Structure 1
Amino acid sequence: MNEKASLQLPPEVIDAIDAHIDSGIYGSPAAVVKAALGALDRENDRFDHVIDGGIRAALDDPRPGVPAEQVFERLERLHADRTKNDRG
């Protein structure tokens, strides 16, 4: 079932939708949005797959964990180095 929705979109988004319609690939704004949402879903699925794989690899890693204190000390050093470098 189709529902009518009214959206306020920035001009550049409207222009992008119109360009896709003008290209002849899509026949309506709804088709462009549907394709964009499908692409977003695929991207999210790939991202989830990568994250899940990274988590699984970390859990399966036989090496001992790094103590939290050591992790936070390293993060604080990295942050201090970055902020020092950002200031010039």
Structure 2
Amino acid sequence: MATAEKISITMTPDMLRAVRESVEAGEYASTSEVLRDAVRLWQRQRLEDAERLDAIRARIRRSLDDPRPSLSTEEVRQHMETLFAKAQEDAARRA
């Protein structure tokens, strides 16, 4: 395990109570373990957010680079109406 560094943090009373209750319930061995788990979750969430953002940027780039002609306003309206009608039909079948 890498060398650990001790830090000091400030938490609201509600947050601290939740951490302590989790330790007392046996979910974690210590408050440090709770916070390490929280940081791991935060790191994973940041990575997932970055991956989603990269995917969105790639889709935008593909769209901008698409050589097909743009749709007219009328074509978009007709397409949206078709999608809406299909969604209504699907909802009616499920009801």
How many Å apart are 1:69 and its aligned residue? 2.2
How many residues get paired? 77
| Unpaired runs of at least 5, structure 2 | 1-6, 16-20
The alpha carbon displacement at 1:4 in A equals: 2.4
Structural mapping, 1:2-81, within 5 Å: 2-6=8-12, 7=14, 19=27, 21=28, 27-81=32-86
> Deviating runs (4+, > 2 A) in structure 1?
1-4
Q: Give, as a single letter, the amino acid of the residue that structure 2 aligns with 1:64.
A: P
Residue in structure 2 matched with residue 84 of structure 1 by the alignment: 89
- The two structures, once aligned, show a CA RMSD in angstroms of 2.6
Query: Equivalents in 2 of 1:69, 1:55: separation in Å?
Result: 22
Q: TM-score, normalised by structure 2?
A: 0.65
Question: Could you tell me how far apart the structure 2 residues matched to 1:52 and 1:2 are?
Answer: 38
**Given the superposition, is the C-alpha separation of residues 28 and 63 from structure 1 closer, same or farther in structure 2, using an over 3 Å criterion?**
same
In structure 2, the partner of 1:11 is none
Identity %: 20
Q: Which structure is larger by alpha-carbon Rg, 1 or 2?
A: 2
